[in-house]
Amino acid sequence: MINKEIYIVGLSKDSIAKLPLKGVTDGIVLRASTSGAIKGAIRSSLPKTYRKWESVTSSLLQGGISIGKITEASVTQFNSSPGKFGVPVWSARFPSQSGALVAGASALFSSTGGISALKSWKPKSPQLLLLTFDSKGSIKSGTTINNGGSPVSFDYLKGLGYGVISSLSNTMYFTLVRE
């Protein structure tokens, strides 16, 4: 629950809140009252692409996946101001084996390719990566999570840092990344 509203993230092939399907599936975010009435919707799509939102923060930073010719972790900051709900502030996609999970001002995903803002980042195999962004979407920092595998859960606690739960070869790992 964010600001006494419920945010539901996922995907859809159906028209929702008068927003039609544009991709194979579109990532969606529904904003609902605590009684269940839909107050707004965000639909993210690319033609011939499977999109899915997997997480959202209280500031409407969203993480998900885009699968088309390539698989990418998707991160988008949406405007949360009254009258501007659902307007993108910035958006980024990164070569990935997983969708992005978001917490605080950061995203976590299993990176499979170079990232221009991280000059030396060129993983030879999928590597769990935590990126922190500024308010304009520029990457402030990147942190590799050892024994990473695939992201399962990701959270942020101010003053402590990021809690990461990941899975690799049927083993779960917990990592704390301090601020």
**pLDDT tens digits, residue range 115-151?**
999 999 999 999 999 999 999 999 999 999 987 789 9
Closest-CA residue to 26 (of 70, 76, 66): 66
User: Which residue range(s) make up the domain with 121?
Assistant: 5-178
Percent of the chain scoring above 90 in pLDDT? 68
Looking at residues 57-76, what average pLDDT do you find?
A: 94
pTM of the model: 0.91
What pLDDT score does 1 carry?
61
Domain total for the chain? 1
- Partners of 163 in beta bridges: 155, 176
**CA torsion 44→77→89→13, rounded to 10°?**
10
